[in-house]
């Protein structure tokens, strides 16, 4: 998904008009909506400092705005193939369902991706169990990794996580 689509998504999620968001960024009232429309349609691409300002006004991480190009199925597939090459993402089947998993033995980066996916799974499970609200879950996702408590623990307990991952690997081999 292109950055313009993400800007549009978050602007609507926050109930903002293009003019309001443009003015919040400091554009003149006369041209604020036109400037935002240019970014949302992709005719202009915001520079890093503007992306940071957009993220701040939209209350999201700049990373939530700058996602890979997944506008087409081919682009999405090549994103997944890149994750396979770089992070050990593997496609598999469990009980007749296609699933993605991470081969943590591939590299340190693969192990880190596994930790991040586990964090996501924990947040999703908390939402499913009613322990957190959809708003809290979205805040966690749109500010990742800022509000990820498990990432902070992972840094403090890296040996423990490493031992747990090693145990899982040994049990599956």
Are residue 59 and residue 100 in the same domain, yes or no? no
pLDDT of residue 172: 46
Determine the Cα–Cα distance for residues 130 and 150; give it in Å rounded to an integer: 19
Q: Which of 39-48, 98-107, 130-139, 156-165 has the lowest mean pLDDT?
A: 156-165
52, two tokens: 């940071």
Whether 99 is in a domain gets the answer yes
pLDDT of residue 67: 74
Structural domain including 43 reads 3-65
- Quick: pLDDT tens for 55-108: 999 999 888 888 777 777 888 888 898 889 888 899 999 999 999 999 998 889
Are residue 92 and residue 39 in the same domain, yes or no? no
- The values of phi and psi at residue 102, to 5°, are -110, 130
Are residue 155 and residue 96 in the same domain, yes or no? yes
Whether 73 is in a domain gets the answer no
- Tell me, what CATH number does 60's domain have? 1.10.260.40
Residue position matching structure tokens 């081999």: 173
Are residue 99 and residue 136 in the same domain, yes or no? yes
DSSP secondary structure string for all residues of 25-62: TT--TTTHHHHHHHHHHTSS---HHHHHHHHHHHTS-H
Average pLDDT over residues 34-47: 94
Are residue 125 and residue 164 in the same domain, yes or no? yes
pLDDT of residue 102: 93
Are residue 95 and residue 58 in the same domain, yes or no? no
Flag whether pLDDT at 159 surpasses 80: no
Whether 157 is in a domain gets the answer yes
């Amino acid at each position: 998904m292109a950055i313009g689509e993400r800007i549009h998504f978050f602007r609507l999620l926050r109930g903002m008009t293009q003019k309001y968001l443009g003015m919040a960024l400091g554009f003149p009232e006369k041209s604020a909506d036109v400037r935002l429309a240019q970014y949302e349609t992709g005719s202009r691409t915001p520079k890093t400092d503007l992306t940071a300002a957009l993220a701040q006004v939209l209350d999201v991480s700049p990373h939530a705005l700058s996602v890979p190009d997944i506008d087409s199925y081919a682009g999405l597939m090549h994103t997944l193939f890149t994750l396979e090459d770089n992070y050990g993402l593997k496609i598999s089947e469990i009980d007749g369902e296609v699933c993605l998993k991470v081969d943590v033995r591939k590299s340190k980066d693969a192990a880190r991706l596994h930790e991040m996916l586990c964090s996501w799974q924990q947040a999703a499970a908390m939402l499913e169990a009613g322990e957190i609200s959809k708003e809290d879950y979205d805040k966690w996702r749109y500010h990742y990794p800022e509000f990820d408590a498990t990432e902070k623990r992972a840094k403090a307990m890296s040996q423990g996580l490493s031992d747990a991952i090693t145990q899982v690997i040994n049990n599956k081999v």
